[in-house]
Every structure is written in C-alpha cells, then in structure tokens.
Amino acid sequence: MTQLMIIRPVAIAATTVAIALLVISGVQAAQIQTVIVGNPGNQGELSGAGAGGSGTDRICGAVDYWYNIGTFEITAGQYTEFLNAVAATDTYGLYNTDMWNGTFGCKIERTGTTGSYVYSVAVDWADRPVNYVSWGDAVRFANWLHNGQIPGQQDLTTTEDGSYYLNGATSAAALLAVVRAGEATWVIPSEDEWYKAAYHYNDGLTGNYWDYPTKSDIAPTSEAPPGVDMTNGSANYYDSGYSIGSPYFRSTAGAYSAKPSDSPYGTFDQGGNIYEWNEAILSSSTRGLRGGTFETPSIALHAASRSGGVAPADENFHIGFRVADITTSSNVPASSKWGLVILVLLMLIVGGTILAKLQHRFPMC
C-alpha cells in the first residue's frame, strides 16, 4: 500500500497543476496552428521578371531543413493577446489607431491610458487577419513567441531579443539591419520558407512548383468562401469586384475550405486576403511581401511576383503576416510550448488514475 499511497498525491498534484496551466494558457497564450513543411533539400526555381513575373530575379523555394509554418495568417485575436501581454505601455508602437478607426482596420480597440492600456477585438473580427502591422511589429510578435509569450514591458525579455535582436529598433534603416539569430525558434518566414510552403508540389527533393498556392497553374476563382471551384481552388482577391464585401473584405482563417484552396502543404490564404511580410530585402529600403491581397488582381498571387516590397517601418491595411517555427523538433506539429507541458501533465494524470484503479482492484497491504 505504501507505494500506491505515494503515487496518488502526485497524480492529484499533477491534476491541480494541469488545470492551472490550462487556465493560464487559455488567457495568456496565443495558440498558433502549424503544418509541417518537409522534403529538406528540395530544389528551388526562378522567381521574378525572368520567370514571367515582376521584380528582381531570384531562385526561390529551396530549404534544406524541416520546419513548421502557420496554417493561417496571424489573426486580430492572436495579435490582441500579444498587445495585452506587452503593450500596457506601448513603447515601440505595436498598435496603430487605424486598426480600429480605419475603413479597412481589423477592429482592435485600445482603451485606457499609457501604462494601463487594454486591448479588445470585435467578436466577428477575431479570426480575420491582423493588419496595420510593420515588419518590426511582426518580428516583435515572433520574439514574444520565442520567449514563451510571457507578459511584461517591451524589453529584451519579451519583444526586443530572441529570434531577432531589436533593442528598440523602429526606423526603416534600423529594421533593415535586423537579422535572424542563430538560436531562433519562432520567426517571420524567409522568402524561401514562405515560397516553398505556398508553391512546392510537396513531392520530394524536386524543383516542381505550382504557379498559384492552390495546387494549380491557373488562377483560383475570386469568390466568397468556402468557394466552389474544385479544379483551381478559390481565393480572396480582386477580379472585377471584391470577393468579400464591406465591412469585412478579408476572410476568416480557413474559410476557403473547399479543396483545393489550401496549398500542397496545407496552408490557407497564401494567395489573396492580405500581403504577408517575409525576411527578404528587396532594395536598400524595402522588405519582402508575398501573396497578394483582397484588392490586388490574380497576378499578385502568382509565384513569379516578387514586387511590392515596402519599408519595414510602414503599417498599412494591405499587410499582415504569418509565422514559422524552425526549431530542430519542428517536424512535429506544435501550437506552443505550453502544449508539450500540458501533454506531459495529462499523461501523469492518466497514469495516476490507472494506478488508483489498480489499487482498488488489487489492494496492497
């Protein structure tokens, strides 16, 4: 009996801790759903004007490691959790008032005064992509994920160091000098990471790519979700009119559920909806964007389109982002490191329950 009596309190303690962690994660943690991008060592392909598109030519898509990339764009709801964690005093301008006031804003509202700011998002906007975010805002979000999503001021423990060393960088020149750290975990995708997830056939170490991120060489149909084009897929872009009308204009995460509107690796909205930042430097003053928007024609969704770079300090309604996890264990799907902690604790709970039942059936004295 002594052995089982020792184990039972451990199970009870694990239950208590697990419940507490579940509560904490529900309040503080932004859950990031990802898909695996495998086939490390695949070949790239030419993108840009030389491939029939626009912008500077470059071989894109070759990645020699496993990684996870966000299934969806970062939503207004996830960004609101970020703001509430680190922007009670918004030192580096992570919030833009046009998020709430702008015609095309993502409806995140800020109340209170500096030092005690509070953020909320309209319910019917929480699952739509955040916009009015600069490249600097996006990498600060990635740093926050890297650092475990802890709350606090915008400093080296939350937003200013981690996957990227920023330490207060806000100007275009300063942000252009920022590079991915060697120990980076959560990141803004490189152009190669973004391109591979969107266009690669997912057929081994090949250089086979689709022209559009809906597993097609023909533009997807511009229409409202869930979409009905079962051949080329559907997407949110401008074609003689908006796919989604006022006031939303952008779709919710995963709304284009009719196949084949997802990419070969299972991502959504890498074509249309909103431009997404990547790490590329396209000129002496601009960072890379990919994917097109609800206001651009289908050519912006094409794999050969490399134009459209914007200064990394700029914030406008066309631009959002998604994140990637490049850790060595990222070939295992993950939403956040809380998930692993909770899984282990739940295993302890299950084990304790089984042992308790065994004690009931086979008492030991």
172-228 pLDDT, tens per residue?
A: 999 999 999 999 999 999 999 999 999 999 999 999 999 999 999 999 999 999 999
Residue 96 Rama label (left phi>0; alpha psi -120 to 50; beta) = beta
The band of 342, judged by pLDDT with boundaries at 50, 70 and 90, is very low
The answer to whether 165 and 178 have CB atoms below 8 angstroms apart is yes
Strand pairing category for 221-222 and 234-235: parallel
Nearest Cα residue to 312 out of 272, 273, 282: 282
Name 134's Cβ contacts closer than 8 Å, sequence gap at least 6. 175, 312, 313, 314, 315
For tokens 């392909």, what's the residue?
A: 45
Mean pLDDT of 240-261: 93
Q: What distance lies between CA 143 and its chain's CA centroid?
A: 13
| Within a domain: 11 | yes
- 79 within a domain of the structure (yes/no): no
What's residue 12's pLDDT?
A: 37
Please provide residue 136's backbone torsions phi and psi, each rounded to the nearest 5 degrees. -60, -40
Distances (CA, A) of 201 to 112, 132, 136, 216, 263: 49, 32, 31, 10, 9
Q: Which two tokens stand for residue 226?
A: 């869930």
pLDDT of residue 337 exceeding 60:
no
Average pLDDT of the chain is 86
Q: What is the pLDDT of residue 365?
A: 40
In-domain check, residue 235 = no
73 located within any domain? no
pLDDT value for 232: 94
- Residue 226 is classified by DSSP as T
Q: Is residue 20 part of a domain?
A: yes
- pLDDT reading at 345 higher than 70: no
Provide, rounded to the nearest whole percent, the portion of the chain with pLDDT above 70: 82
Residue-wise pLDDT tens digits, 16-42: 333 333 333 333 478 999 999 999 999
Nearest 10 degrees: Cα torsion 321, 63, 279, 283: -130
Residues 142-166, mean pLDDT to the nearest whole number: 98
Task: Please give the share of the chain, as a percent, with pLDDT higher than 90.
Answer: 79
Domain coverage including residue 14: 2-28+340-361
Q: How far apart are CA 201 and CA 271, in angstroms?
A: 16
Averaged pLDDT, 130-149? 98
Residue 132 reports pLDDT greater than 60: yes
- Short-list 108, 135, 79, 104, CA closest to 295: 104
CA R_g for the chain: 22
pLDDT score for 29 = 74
Whether 218 maps to a domain, the answer reads no
Mean pLDDT of 257-264: 90
Q: Which two tokens stand for residue 156?
A: 């080296």
- Alpha helix stretches (DSSP H) within the chain: 2-28, 76-86, 98-101, 135-146, 172-176, 191-199, 337-361
Ramachandran angles phi, psi of 305, nearest 5°: -85, 110
Cα-Cα-Cα-Cα torsion 212, 217, 218, 222, nearest 10 degrees, comes to -20
Confidence label for 85 from pLDDT (cuts 50, 70 and 90): very high
| Inside any domain, residue 357 | yes
C-alpha closest to that of 275 among 145, 152, 138: 138
349 pLDDT band (50/70/90 cuts)? low
pLDDT at 44: 98
Nearest to 62 by CA among 270, 266, 207, 186: 207
User: How far, in Å, CA of 225 to CA of 236, rounded?
Assistant: 8
CB 135 within 8 A of CB 289: no
Domain count, the chain: 1
Average pLDDT over residues 35-55: 95
Q: What is the mean pLDDT of residues 137-163?
A: 98
Strand 319-320, strand 275-281: pairing: parallel
Sole residue written with tokens 């046009």: 98
Tens-place pLDDT, residues 271-302: 999 999 999 999 999 999 999 999 999 999 99
- Predicted local distance difference test score (pLDDT) of residue 191: 98
pLDDT at 30: 86
For residue 243, being part of any structural domain is answered with no
Q: Quick one: tokens of 203?
A: 């057929």
Instruction: pLDDT band for 307, please (50, 70, 90 cuts).
Output: confident
